[in-house]
Amino acid sequence: MIPIEEMTPSDAEGVRYILMDIDDTLTREGRLMDASYQALWDLHRAGLKLVPVTGRSAGWCDLIAREWPVDGVIGENGALAFWEERDNRPLLRQDFHPGAVRNNHPVLERIRRRVLEEVPGARAAKDQFARLFDLAVDFAEEEPVLSLDAAEKIRLIAEAEGARAKVSSIHVNIWMGAYDKLSMAEHFLSGRFGWRRGAGDREIVFVGDSPNDEPMFARFPLACAVANVRRYAALIKHWPAFAASRECGEGFAEIAAALLGKRAPRAPI
Ligand SMILES: [Mg+2]
């Protein structure tokens, strides 16, 4: 990773889409930070398309798509995309990945039982009731905060049972379908905005913080991380090109300011 200040002006000029993780990328200790929310508005007003890409639930995504200054949101690690059309009255659109499998699947129930029995302190995330497709096991959102080794043990149980699993900064997300944050992000951007794979790769800046962001780090040449990504040095194989010097939402704001500062001024929208 190199400092975000070293992004070239021509790369910054070519960016059209800002994709970002939410937990510990825009938030710190579970709170959306003033610096990151202001940065979202600054990027939006500069005409960039904003799309949070998160492991958070369908229920959260409904709120984000309707209330935040964004052009869509991808949730449950790629199971769904929600966006609002605002041509006249606001109209919420919902797209579900064709490979998404509802979370009442018996394998997920077996995994849930095994995790609760075999990993002391593990519990279902409190936003589980608002999820359609994944099982979220909380290891660090609330007390007791478990180790990353415990999170890895949960992931390995899920994979041994035939599910997919990713470790975020707070949850282990577990699901049955063949999708991830990356596949749904590409599907959404091409369908909604006509983004083209390959030719459009450098139009995307993705910002994340943890191992469940790795498919995005590996895929996009202008991917960035906030400084807290270094907590996961032992778990990450594919690092992004750029890093902020600051953590969480302050790191996101640093990336936004660097990007906007390198672009020619435009009339605000
Ligand atoms: Mg995160």
Which residues have their alpha-adjacent CB atom under 5 A from ion ligand 1? 21, 23-24, 168-169, 209-210
How many angstroms is it from 78 CA to the middle of ligand 1? 14
Tell me if 165 sits within 8 A of 151, measured CB to CB. no
How many angstroms is it from 27 CA to the middle of ligand 1? 9
Cα–Cα distance, 261 to 53 (Å, whole number)? 24
List helix spans (H) across 119-234.
148-160, 181-193, 214-219
How many angstroms is it from 88 CA to the middle of ligand 1? 34
Residue 115 is classified by DSSP as H
172 membership: H or E segment, kind and range: strand 171-175
User: What are the tens digits of pLDDT across the range 23-47?
Assistant: 999 999 999 999 999 999 999 999 9
How many angstroms is it from 160 CA to the middle of ligand 1? 24
How many angstroms is it from 1 CA to the middle of ligand 1? 18
User: What are the tens digits of pLDDT across the range 161-207?
Assistant: 999 999 988 999 999 999 989 999 999 999 999 999 999 999 999 99
Rounded average pLDDT over 50-77:
97
Which domains are present in the chain?
A: 2-97+180-262 (3.40.50.1000), 106-175 (3.90.1070.10)
How many angstroms is it from 207 CA to the middle of ligand 1? 9
How many angstroms is it from 210 CA to the middle of ligand 1? 5
User: What are the tens digits of pLDDT across the range 77-90?
Assistant: 999 999 999 888 88
